[in-house]
Amino acid sequence: MKLNKVIPFLLLSTIFNTRAGNLFAQDAPAAVISSASESQFMVAGLTTFGFVNQTTTNTLGGVKSTDKYNSLGDADRFEFSPMLLWRHGDNLLLEFEPSFDGTNIGVNWADIAYFVSPGLIIKGGYLVLPFGTYTKRLAAGWINKLASDPIGVDIAGTDFGIEVEGGLPLGNMKWSYDISLTNGMQLDNYGVVSGVGISAINNGKTVCGRLALLPFPNSSLEIGVSGLYGAIATPQGATFSNTNATDTKGPMASMYAIDLNYVKNFNPIQLNIKGQYNVSMVTKQNYLNPVDSTQTYSFTNTTSAAFAQISLRPVQSKNRVLKNLELAFRYSNYMTPQNSTWGQNYTEEDVALDYWLSWRTVLKIAYENINSDGTSSVAISGVQGSTTVSRMIIQFSTEF
């Protein structure tokens, strides 16, 4: 639900599915773009608004402190994102989605797509990278069953580049592919990676891709695997260096992920299971000790994130109220590198009761319990701390 997370999947799949059939496990029908004229303009989008009541307990050096607050609007989850679509003929589509998060206006994505043939789309611009399934297809507030996003699954993020995607039948099964070539990432003096943006500061590029298989004819199950590989830029003034003094190469990044999406009706209940596991690895570097700049330190720069989610909805119930209720639960885990300045072990349990006003409008009442333990080395940070957060959220989300 935050910046750089959501793609207009249902709108794009409408055009694509008319050419190649349904190639993704989906929870709701897609919107339709009229074909009354050769050139058309359309405004769609999404919004998420809510109320949060939160209690945070920090423990640092054995000393506890508690902070409580509540907020109308819910600063961490509020989003208003109109989506602008312009289509020229049957083959060309321009997409642009700005987003207001309550403080700043940013851009979720901005690209041009060309539908070459059945099963082949070429895109260029500011893209959501095809890594995992959550960031590109599940993060919109009206699609997400819970009130918040699972932390760490957006590690690949967005970038400027080109992309090739599509899919075709495979006997009684279906498969899809999504591959991108983008400017890549850079490394800061603490070992954290971030995007270089449109002004690439090195000649290296990043390759990212996802392959997915739908083994059942009804597309109820989708299993995907993703990978990313590329050189990481070294910004001007960087103080880190390769642990191997004879290696002239800069740092490299490699990532992989596996994801699952299963939607099946067992009268009268609809079962919906989703999950993703991803790992990011950066080659080892020597960093200046922030406590003593005459010394260096190193760590294994591996970050992992995972979530598992299940929801139940009595869609075939004869009771009009009951059939629109959905109970959802999600467990998330996020681990950043131990002995780094930003090392932590983060776990979260979320539960929500959703009421669907329509297939694209939902009201949620959610409870979240979060625990985070610092795993940074005392030698570089001085202290280790932990944080516990409990929050109650009331949230309204819709696609328009």
What's the confidence (pLDDT) of residue 27?
55
Residue 364: name the closest of 356, 372, 376 by CA. Answer: 356
More confident residue, 61 or 226: 226
CATH fold group of domain 9-399: Porin (2.40.160)
- pLDDT per residue as tens digits for the range 320-341: 999 999 999 999 999 999 999 9
Is the distance from CB of 101 to CB of 3 less than 8 angstroms?
A: yes
Region 91-99: what's the mean pLDDT? 95
69 exposed, middle or buried (CB, 10 Å; 0-12, 13-18, 19+)?
exposed
> How do 206-214 and 173-182 pair as beta strands?
antiparallel
What's the confidence (pLDDT) of residue 30?
42
Distance CA(388)–CA(400), nearest Å, equals: 36
> What are the start-end ranges of the E strands in 129-184?
158-170, 173-182
Contacts of 311 (CB under 8 A, 6+ apart): 145, 271, 272, 326, 327, 328, 329, 354
Does residue 209 register a pLDDT over 90?
A: yes
Q: CA torsion sign, 233 to 235 to 236 to 238?
A: negative
Residues recorded for the chain: 400
Distance CA(146)–CA(27), nearest Å, equals: 14
CA angle 23, 26, 29 (to 5 degrees): 105
Q: What is the mean pLDDT of the chain?
A: 88
Does residue 85 register a pLDDT over 60?
A: yes
- pLDDT per residue as tens digits for the range 239-282: 888 887 777 778 999 999 999 999 999 999 999 999 999 999 99
What's the confidence (pLDDT) of residue 244?
76
For 196, how many CA atoms within 13 A lie in the half-sphere containing its CB?
23
What's the confidence (pLDDT) of residue 3?
43
Residue 66: name the closest of 58, 74, 77 by CA. Answer: 58
What's the confidence (pLDDT) of residue 245?
72
- Per the omega criterion (within 30 degrees of 0), is the bond before 215 cis? no
More confident residue, 296 or 1: 296
Tally of CB atoms within 10 A around 138 = 23
